[in-house]
């Protein structure tokens, strides 16, 4: 990694007093490019839209398609870890090129699927697309984040907002293409794959790490450590495990509700058109939660921000539980908005917490490990679906989420600076 930084500094040397100003200006351009990258990478979360034509075309059952998304999240997390290792060894450009090839190939191969084996879907969409996007996600966050040591929360929040907004923006566009007779689902997957590949390739040849001698200096009051922890050192601290489990429970609340949000709203008396609108509102609140949490980190620090996010999660589960018990649409709308906001806070917390607590030198790999909370949360979401099916109602899943969010608060309060 030191050799890569040395080569970069030789190619982009400091040239006089104006260099810091130039780097300060260009970092906002990189943030814009990184946000566009995240917007396209986030299409992986539009699975609820993308899976529909596959179920119709091949008669694949709901559990088979649910397993596909679970595997996708697993490979997304593994791809993030691979991205951290590849980035350290080969740099940003080669890492993003690899991500472009894998993710693009995943969508293109999915567009050519036949119905003979759902296993091919697991390889194309799960392994290739999920793994490729995981690499891009990690490399992009660590690269752009290095330009903003003084605004870590804002930077992470903006990038995460782009990732979260994809399901609403590109997901809606994908739905229109799929339903269009002139395009269809096969061409929709093909177009998405090509567009994603192009965006990642263009980013690969533009983005670079900052010249450390001229980059803005961080003075974030939220910083908790003055040393850099290796991954093995990080996982030996109690702070890591408390934060990790806490984030599993908080993320599980959002991912569980998202998996059945439309049906939930219908169950409390909403019309179909309103239910679709409210699912979109959930995505909007998700994006707002990401950027707001980032701003809170910079303003109020880690402890207050994480406690507020946790409290909102408890509120979301409690209000939605009451909505189910009393069949109240207004309470359900409030619960969905709070759920979207709380779920949006989780990836921003994961990113900034890892950087602030365990340093920036090994951030790419450390963050990929912390990000495994998403994979664990997906299994709790699957458990929520099982509870829904076995109990025949939404009370049991929301009681589970309320209990988990309360346990998360206990863990949250107990987190201390790493020793």
Domain spans, the chain = 1-219, 224-419
How far is CA 381 from its chain centroid?
Answer: 16
Q: Compute φ and ψ for 180, nearest 5 degrees.
A: -80, 125
Longest dimension (CA), the chain: 69
Judge if 1-219 and 224-419 fold alike in CATH terms. Answer: yes
**Residue 287 in this model has a pLDDT that exceeds 50:** yes
* Residue 220 in this model has a pLDDT that exceeds 70: no
Q: Tell me, what's the pLDDT at 13? A: 44
pLDDT over 50 at 5, yes or no: no
Q: pLDDT, tens digit, for every residue of 379-403?
A: 888 888 889 888 989 999 999 999 9
pLDDT of residue 133: 96
Angle made by CA atoms 132, 136, 96, in degrees to the nearest 5:
90
Distances (CA, A) of 40 to 43, 129, 274, 318, 414: 6, 12, 27, 34, 37
Handedness of CA 171, 379, 318, 370 (dihedral sign): negative
Question: Which positions ≥6 away from 187 have C-beta within 8 Å?
Answer: 111, 177
Query: For domain 1-219, which CATH number applies: 3.40.50.720, 1.10.760.10, 3.20.190.10, 1.20.1250.20?
Result: 1.20.1250.20
Please check whether the domain covering 224-419 is classified as CATH 1.10.3720.10. Answer: no
pLDDT at 225 over 80: no
Q: What pLDDT sits at residue 101? A: 97
Checking if the pLDDT of 207 tops 80, the result is yes
> 286 and 343 in contact (C-beta within 8 Å)?
yes
Q: Which of 355, 374, 91, 135 is nearest to 247 (CA)?
A: 374
363-370 helix and 62-90 helix, angle to the nearest 10 degrees: 170
Helix (H, G, I), strand (E, B) or coil at 30: helix
pLDDT confidence tier of residue 154, bands split at 50, 70 and 90: confident
pLDDT tens by residue, 101-110: 999 999 999 9
Q: Match 């390739």 to its residue by tokens.
A: 201
**pLDDT tops 60 at residue 1:** no
């Amino acid at each position: 990694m030191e050799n890569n930084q040395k080569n970069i500094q030789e190619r982009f040397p400091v040239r006089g007093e104006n260099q810091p100003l130039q780097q300060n200006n260009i970092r906002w351009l990189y943030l814009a490019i990184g946000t566009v990258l995240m917007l396209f990478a986030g299409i992986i979360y539009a699975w609820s839209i993308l899976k529909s034509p596959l179920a119709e075309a091949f008669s694949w059952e709901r559990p088979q398609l649910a397993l596909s998304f679970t595997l996708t999240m697993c490979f997304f997390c593994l791809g993030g870890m691979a991205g951290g290792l590849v980035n350290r060894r080969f740099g940003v450009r080669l890492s993003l090129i690899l991500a472009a090839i894998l993710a693009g190939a995943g969508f293109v191969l999915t567009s050519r699927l036949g119905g003979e084996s759902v296993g091919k879907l697991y390889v194309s969409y799960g392994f290739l697309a999920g793994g490729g996007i995981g690499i891009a996600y990690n490399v992009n966050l660590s690269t752009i984040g290095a330009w903003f040591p003084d605004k870590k929360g804002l930077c992470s929040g903006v990038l995460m907002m782009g990732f979260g907004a994809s399901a609403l923006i590109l997901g809606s566009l994908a739905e229109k293409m799929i339903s269009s007779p002139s395009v269809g689902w096969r061409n929709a997957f093909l177009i998405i794959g090509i567009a994603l590949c192009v965006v990642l390739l263009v980013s690969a040849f533009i983005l670079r790490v900052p010249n450390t001698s001229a980059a803005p200096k961080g003075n974030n009051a939220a910083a908790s450590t003055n040393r850099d922890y290796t991954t093995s050192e990080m996982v030996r601290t109690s702070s890591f495990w408390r934060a990790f489990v806490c984030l599993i429970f908080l993320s599980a609340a959002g991912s569980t509700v998202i998996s059945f949000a439309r049906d939930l709203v219908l169950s409390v008396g909403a019309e179909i058109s309103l239910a679709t609108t409210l699912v979109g509102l959930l995505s909007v609140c998700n994006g707002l939660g990401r950027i707001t949490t980032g701003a809170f980190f910079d303003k109020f620090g880690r402890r207050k921000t994480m406690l507020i996010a946790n409290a909102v999660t408890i509120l979301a589960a409690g209000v939605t539980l009451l909505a189910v018990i009393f069949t109240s649409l207004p309470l359900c709308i409030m619960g969905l908005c709070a759920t979207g906001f709380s779920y949006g806070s989780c990836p921003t917390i994961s990113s900034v917490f890892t950087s602030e607590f365990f340093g920036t030198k090994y951030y790419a790999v450390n963050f990929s490990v912390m990000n495994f909370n998403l994979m664990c949360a997906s299994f709790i979401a699957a458990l929520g679906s099982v509870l829904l099916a076995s109990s025949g109602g939404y009370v049991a899943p929301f009681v589970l989420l309320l209990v988990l969010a309360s346990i998360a608060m206990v863990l949250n309060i107990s987190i201390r600076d790493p020793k």
